[in-house]
Amino acid sequence: MKTIHVTATVNGDTVEYLCDPRETLLDVLRDRLNLTGAKEGCGTGDCGACSVTVDGRLVCSCLILGVEAEGKTITTVEGMADGETLHPLQKKFIEYAALQCGICTPGILVAAKSLLEKNPDPTETEVRYWLAGNLCRCTGYDKIIRAVLDTAADMREAS
């Protein structure tokens, strides 16, 4: 199988990789770039555990081919913290214990960050609909929703 050379920007760094055209962006991130934050839950775009942004747009990395990333700017959960300083959402998720097993958490953090960038003052309903594509089988969602709403309030106050 012929591999294809791809150049992309991941979390601010230029990366190059060779990939099989059948590989998904999720495969590339995890197995070629060793960024294992994005998780494979379902592999069919239902669970959101593989959420990343591509050119600023929230997507499931399992539903994008690795070769489609040519020239694109990708951010993953690994790009959220600033060195040792966690993103406000990450801090708030710890404070609220908005996770248990943690498999869904990277995807939810990336999705919630994307929401707050578009809408700094979402209603609870807007948060719940935005995150409807991120499944969590542990928390019952309530702590996640409260953590996102409280982070949004803090970030509005800080700005």
Partner 1 sequence: MQYHSPNTFEDAAALAVAAAGVTRFLAGGTDVLVQLRADIITPDTVIDIKNIPGVRDITRHDDGSWTLGVATSGAEMREHVELGLDWPGVVEAMDLIGSTQVQGRATLVGNLCNGSPAADSVPAMVTAGVEFSVTNSEGTRRVAVMDIPAGPGRTHLAQGDVISAVHIPARGARGGDAYLRFIPRTEMDIAVVGCAINLALDAAGVITQASVSLGAVAPTVLRLDEAAEALIGCTLDEATLDKLATAASAACNPISDKRGTIEFRTHVAGVLAKRTAKIAYARAQGVTK
Residues forming contacts to partner 1 in the complex (CB under 8 A) are 1, 4, 21-22, 24, 43-46, 48, 51, 54, 57-60, 62-65, 67-68, 70, 111, 114-115, 129-134
DSSP structure string for 35-70: ---S--SSSSSSS-TTEEEETTEEEEGGGSBGGGGT
* CA distances for 76 relative to 2, 73, 139, 154, angstroms: 27, 10, 22, 23
In the bound state with partner 1, the residue whose beta carbon lies nearer, of 2 and 82, is 2
As a whole number of angstroms, the distance between CA 29 and CA 155 comes to: 30
| Minimum distance of partner 1 from residue 128's CB (angstroms) | 9
In the bound state with partner 1, the residue whose beta carbon lies nearer, of 99 and 111, is 111
| Minimum distance of partner 1 from residue 13's CB (angstroms) | 23
In the bound state with partner 1, the residue whose beta carbon lies nearer, of 24 and 151, is 24
**DSSP tag of 155:** H
In the bound state with partner 1, the residue whose beta carbon lies nearer, of 64 and 144, is 64
Structure token pair of residue 138: 């542990």
| Minimum distance of partner 1 from residue 51's CB (angstroms) | 6
Q: Which residue has the tokens 């908005």?
A: 98
| Minimum distance of partner 1 from residue 158's CB (angstroms) | 25
Rounded to 5°, angle at Cα 69 from 133 and 134: 10
